[in-house]
Amino acid sequence: MNWEQLLSLKRFGDTNKRLRNEQDETRLGFEVDYDRIIFSSEFRSLQDKTQVIPLSQTDFVHTRLTHSLEVSVVGRTLGRRVGAKIIEKYPHLTTIHGYQANDFGAIVAAAALAHDIGNPPFGHSGEKAIGEFFKTGKGFRFKEVLSDKEFQDLCDFEGNANGFKILTESRAGREGGLRLSYATLGAFMKYPKESLPKRPTKHIADKKFGFFQSEKDAFMDVASDLGLIETRTGSTVSFGRHPLTYLVEAADDICYTIIDFEDGINMGLIQEEYALEYLINLVRDSINANKYHQLTNTKDRVSYLRALAINTLINEAVDVFVKNEESILKNEFGASLLDKCQYEAQISDIIKLSVKQVYQSEEVIGKEIAGYEVLNDLLIVYTKALDNFMKGETSNYDKLILKTLEKHLSLHENLTTYEMLMMVCNYVAKLSDSNAILTHKKIKGTYL
């Protein structure tokens, strides 16, 4: 892979190449990507989607929106610092093509801003709830009319793939989705493969999948334009990562490791003495003891350590990326950046404590159980109504349900079963936590 191609400014529908040295410096194409994402309705819905604590009523616990904004800020810094090193190593990117270090930051910031845009309500349990509907629930009956890959898309419903769908899916008046630059779309794709085969290697890019069969053509167009490395041939579609994806992933890893931990402390789920010890182990080389001891309350102490920890891990991620840049370009780097940093053990300790005390807390598990029930019931009603519509067997109840869906879905008689099911799953995944609960009350007759 080469950086000039990887930094493509192309957008869906372009017939001519967009050149960096012809860009308007006051409204750079990569910055337009950020604007389009932040003004999208799908991004706005993240303000009411779970990050860690579902349906939290406190004002300091993160939602998907605040998490995404923070990941974007960290990603921008990572991108700029790496960009400065890349420009220094390959000066022709500036002298001939006009690229600047901040371009890398803008790409990573935009991709990081969108990294959770496809996640369903109720956190990762929402993904699992949709998948279970098809694996073991009433959605299993559709297996016989779907291809193996189509059915796997549904059984392992993936927020990353749904995000790519949201960013690229054409509809009337919105051809090409948000029409982001291909560089940003490439950096967004953490898992540039289809749903089968599952985890064929231990490479980080094979951990999950990054696009549904419905977006296969769009994915191939982006991968081809960027010059991503094809890792499997024949009937299986799989490519190596865009190098800047490692920075998007690192920004997410840094934020959920440190800030989810901070949320757990502020919620009282993690005892302060344990928390401070774990964070101090991570920032021991940079802490100002005098300043730290002047802080008189838990929130301020944790906030100070959190800032130091994020800066420490940013420096580590940049260092690991720069040292391994050539192997990353060859798709020979198979781990996340933080897995290869000197603080891997300390990060692992923090994550283990967060899993035990926060992610598996009684409050989180209870609300995830409720989320399972909500999404399962919605999928039962919606898939039945649409399936009957396709068969010409709609009941009066089905017609009422379809009335609520027709302004959101493009319903027509030539829908395939796969298209119909993906349409329903995408619609349900776009719901916020509160809207999913409200909709569930309506279909259950408990809203009145």
Backbone angles phi, psi at 399, to 5 degrees: -65, -35
| Residues 63 and 162 placed together within one structural domain of the fold | no
Q: In the numeric block, which tokens belong to residue 173?
A: 């008046």
pTM for the whole structure: 0.95
Within the chain, what is the greatest distance between any pair of CA atoms?
74
| Residues 308 and 225 placed together within one structural domain of the fold | no
Give the pLDDT band (50/70/90) at residue 59. Answer: low
Domain membership of residue 30 (yes or no) is yes
Expressed as residue numbers, the domain containing 418 is: 363-444
Domain boundary pick from 335, 358, 381: 358
| Residues 354 and 382 placed together within one structural domain of the fold | no
Q: What CATH number has the domain bearing residue 158? A: 1.10.3210.10
User: What is the C-alpha separation between 115 and 191, in angstroms, rounded?
Assistant: 12
| Residues 395 and 342 placed together within one structural domain of the fold | no
Q: In the numeric block, which tokens belong to residue 294?
A: 């002047």
Domain membership of residue 124 (yes or no) is no
Give the Cβ contact number of residue 16 at 10 Å.
6
What is the pLDDT, as a whole number, of residue 57? 53
What is the pLDDT, as a whole number, of residue 52? 67
Read off the pLDDT of each residue in 115-140 and give the average, rounded to a whole number.
94
Domain boundary pick from 183, 212, 239: 239
| Residues 217 and 147 placed together within one structural domain of the fold | yes
User: What is the C-alpha separation between 242 and 328, in angstroms, rounded?
Assistant: 9
What is the pLDDT, as a whole number, of residue 25? 86
Domain membership of residue 118 (yes or no) is no
Domain membership of residue 42 (yes or no) is yes
Give the Cβ contact number of residue 350 at 10 Å.
22
Domain membership of residue 126 (yes or no) is no
| Residues 351 and 250 placed together within one structural domain of the fold | yes
Buried b (16+ CB within 10 A) or exposed e, 187-196: bbbbbbbbbb
| Residues 249 and 354 placed together within one structural domain of the fold | yes
Residue-by-residue DSSP string for 301-328: HHHHHHHHHHHHHHHHHHHHHHHTHHHH
417 touches 408 (CB < 8 A): no
Over the stretch 246-296, which tens digit does the pLDDT of each residue have?
999 999 999 989 988 888 888 888 887 778 888 888 998 889 989 988 988
Q: What CATH number has the domain bearing residue 324? A: 1.10.3410.10
State how far the alpha carbon of 2 is from the alpha carbons of 6, 90, 239, 390, 443, in Å: 6, 10, 15, 47, 52
Cis peptide before 197 (omega within 30 of 0): yes
The amino acid present at 279, given as its one-letter code, is: L
| Residues 273 and 327 placed together within one structural domain of the fold | yes
Domain membership of residue 85 (yes or no) is yes
How many domains would you assign to the chain? 4
Query: C-alpha 324: how far from its chain's center?
Result: 24
The amino acid present at 21, given as its one-letter code, is: N
DSSP 8-class letter at 230 = E
Over the stretch 315-360, which tens digit does the pLDDT of each residue have?
999 999 999 999 999 999 999 999 999 999 999 999 999 888 888 8
225 touches 182 (CB < 8 A): yes
Residue-by-residue DSSP string for 36-97: HHHTSHHHHGGGGSBSSSTT--SSSS-BHHHHHHHHHHHHHHHHHHHHHHHHHH-THHHHTT
User: What is the C-alpha separation between 237 and 196, in angstroms, rounded?
Assistant: 9
Domain boundary pick from 358, 376, 409: 358
| Residues 90 and 7 placed together within one structural domain of the fold | yes
User: What is the C-alpha separation between 29 and 31, in angstroms, rounded?
Assistant: 5
User: Of 119, 123, 199, 122, whose CA–CA distance to 161 is shortest?
Assistant: 119
| Residues 347 and 367 placed together within one structural domain of the fold | no
Domain membership of residue 282 (yes or no) is yes
| Residues 195 and 225 placed together within one structural domain of the fold | yes
Give the pLDDT band (50/70/90) at residue 420. Answer: very high
What is the pLDDT, as a whole number, of residue 166? 96
Read off the pLDDT of each residue in 151-168 and give the average, rounded to a whole number.
97
| Residues 302 and 403 placed together within one structural domain of the fold | no
Over the stretch 211-246, which tens digit does the pLDDT of each residue have?
999 999 999 999 999 999 999 988 899 999 999 999
Q: Is the pLDDT of residue 157 over 90?
A: yes
Domain membership of residue 138 (yes or no) is no
